[in-house]
Amino acid sequence: MGKKYKDISELPGVGEKTGQKLKDAGYVDMMSIAAASPMELTEIANLGEGTGTKIINAARESLEIGYETATEVLAKRDKVMKISTNSNALNELLGGGIETGSTTEFHGGFGSSKTQVAHQLAVNVQLPKDKGGLGGGCLYIDTEGTFRPERIKQMAEARELDPKKILSNIYVARAYNSDHQMILADNAAEIIREKNVKLIVVDSVMALFRSDFIGRGTLSNRQQKLNRHLHKLQRLADVYNIAVYMTNQVMSRPDILFGDPTAPVGGHVMGHFSTFRIYVRRSKGGTRIARMIDSPNLPEGECVFKIDGGGIEDVEK
């Protein structure tokens, strides 16, 4: 059994000065250190790679990170919470709603309502738990300039909520390139703690990576950076037990002769990363069809929901 440490500054090789550098960078507790890589600590605090490894190992021993029984894992799953989408059908497809500790990706074409879902979740996460929320705020990374506070106001009023209060608990940042997007995620830990954030929205996760890296010659660098960004988001979800909702674009595949020729962008890195992957498309009369593409525990399936002035709703039967 490893020695127990109360503060990261007590870890061997850290101290007050280095500890403050790590805290300023968002590494504030043992779990955030334990989940880091030696290269990250080296870049942040000018440590040698060997020292970084020593610090991480000490944090892991302090937390007693190792194997555990599936029974213990099941008990930890009791801490998972769900955010309602406002549609019972869509909630059922998602196993109850958008899950904390996980990443949920909605991909689809223009006008498929990926951003509408993002706005609805930003409102609903603020509801009390018995109303389908988590009683927390939302961190919203907008990469395409599609966030609209007016839409948030409409959705809040439709649920008889105070629009000013709802808007004041959504923290929006417009990202202008992929590096900026990554920095916003890297610096998210402090605001998550200070503002009781329970949801991170990235809308959309791939847009800036696609525009910054053009041509096959840049694909390797793009995927490496994307992989790092996605794992940072997953780490935030794990450490703080929050939900991460990402929208993603699609591309047309001319080699598909039958069926829907669209496919999500981001390649295998994106495909293997998302915990839950949903494809959403437009249908008749303002309705949308959502299909579960990938999940570790939920079956494939489809549901229909609609978008109206008040937000996301079930289709009347």
Sheet holding 287-294, edge to edge: 170-174, 137-142, 197-203, 243-248, 103-107, 276-282, 287-294, 302-308, 311-314
In this prediction, residue 2 has a pLDDT band, given cuts at 50, 70 and 90, of: low
Report how far residue 283's alpha carbon sits from residue 227's, in angstroms, rounded to the nearest whole number. Answer: 33
The Cα–Cα gap between 170 and 184 comes to 15
CATH numbers and ranges of domains, the chain: 8-63 (1.10.150.20), 77-314 (3.40.50.300)
Q: What is the pLDDT of residues 134-150, one digit of tens each?
A: 999 999 999 999 999 99
Site of tokens 């000490």: 58
pLDDT digits (tens, 9 = 90+) for 264-314: 777 777 878 889 999 999 988 789 999 999 999 999 999 999 999 999 999
Q: What is the pLDDT of residues 260-273, one digit of tens each?
A: 556 777 777 787 88
Which pairing describes strands 137-142 and 197-203: parallel, antiparallel, or unpaired? Answer: parallel
- 20-29, 93-102, 114-123: which range is least confident on average? 20-29
Nearest Cα residue to 285 out of 303, 307, 302? 307
Please give the share of the chain, as a percent, with pLDDT higher than 70.
95
Res 93: pLDDT: 97
Residue 260: per-residue pLDDT: 58
Quote the mean pLDDT of the chain. 89
User: Which of 213 and 161 is assigned the larger pLDDT?
Assistant: 161
The encoded tokens of residue 215 equal: 């041509």
Kindly give, in sequence order, each residue whose CB lies less than 8 Å from that of residue 183, ignoring residues fewer than 6 positions away.
none
**pLDDT tens profile 16-47:** 888 888 887 778 888 888 878 888 888 888 88
